[in-house]
Amino acid sequence: MLYIRLFHGRTDPNQDMDECGSNGPVLGPYKYIHTTYKNYFRLAKLNDNCDELFLHEDMLYYNGVYYGDWSMFTEEIFKKGEFATIPFEQSKANLPALEQKH
């Protein structure tokens, strides 16, 4: 199983980042994570449905925050890191209307 951790977040995608941004959620578990043409990440759940995260320029968007960094890791790393996941909500992953690419 795979997990994705979002970090280095900011609420304004145009903000210059000289320091580390905010830590974001850890999402998962997923069977696989697929990305298409720098547009979105499809996160395949155990039941074969997919969650989707969308990109704005080079940042993933979730819950009003644009994340410049993310890590994908296995269940072994998840357990060693003592991470906790949050429930994914697709409505929080949708880009604001003026920015949607997909």
3-state helix/strand/coil string of 27-80: EEEECEEEEECCCEEEEECCCCCEEEEEEECCEEEECCEEEEEEEEEEHHHHHH
For residue 3, the cross-strand partners are 73
| Cα 59 to Cα 78: distance, rounded to the nearest angstrom | 23
The larger pLDDT score, comparing residue 93 to residue 82, is at 93
Q: Name every residue whose Cβ is closer than 8 Å to that of residue 37 and which is 6 or more positions away in sequence.
A: none
* pTM passes above 0.75: yes
Each residue's pLDDT tens digit, 22-73: 999 999 999 999 998 888 999 999 998 999 999 999 999 999 999 999 999 9
